[in-house]
């Protein structure tokens, strides 16, 4: 009977330790995130459906933290994890939807 109790105690201890290890790995992953915010000027936006289309295309990308698309000034303010995603990938996702990226002069 003592062996069964001892085995149960060891198994409970092991399972607690594996949970702590997973939490430590998640914390490490969160710390390694490098969030960057950028404004992208977009050409060809005409209506609210354009905004919705861009939001859908960009939000599908892994690493997007936040996105605000503005029809009034034809911009997208994007916060993203630079360790998972590059700005060029965001721009390609917008262009794939049929819009252009305007470069500032």
Q: Is the pLDDT of residue 40 over 70?
A: yes
Helices (H) and strands (E) counted in the chain, each on its own, are: 3, 4
**Longest Cα separation, the chain:** 80
Model confidence at 24: pLDDT above 80: no
pTM here is 0.68
- At 61-78, the pLDDT tens digits run 999 999 999 999 999 999
* Residue-level pLDDT at 33: 74
As a whole number, mean pLDDT of residues 79-98 equals: 96
Quote the pLDDT of residue 9: 61
The band of 103, judged by pLDDT with boundaries at 50, 70 and 90, is confident
Average pLDDT of every residue of the chain: 83
Average pLDDT over residues 74-99: 96
Please choose, from the candidates 3, 1, 63, the residue with its C-alpha nearest in 3D space to the C-alpha of residue 37: 63
Query: 50 versus 4: which is more confidently predicted?
Result: 50
Q: How many CB atoms lie within 10 A of CB 56?
A: 11
């Amino acid at each position: 009977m003592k062996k069964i109790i001892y085995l149960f105690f060891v198994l409970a201890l092991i399972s607690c330790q594996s949970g702590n290890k997973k939490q430590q790995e998640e914390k490490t992953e969160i710390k390694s995130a490098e969030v960057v915010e950028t404004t992208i000027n977009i050409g060809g936006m005409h209506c609210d459906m354009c905004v919705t289309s861009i939001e859908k295309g960009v939000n599908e990308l892994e690493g997007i933290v936040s996105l605000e698309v503005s029809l009034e000034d034809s911009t997208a303010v994007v916060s993203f994890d630079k360790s998972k995603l590059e700005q060029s990938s965001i721009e390609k996702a917008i262009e794939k939807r049929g819009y252009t990226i305007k470069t500032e002069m």
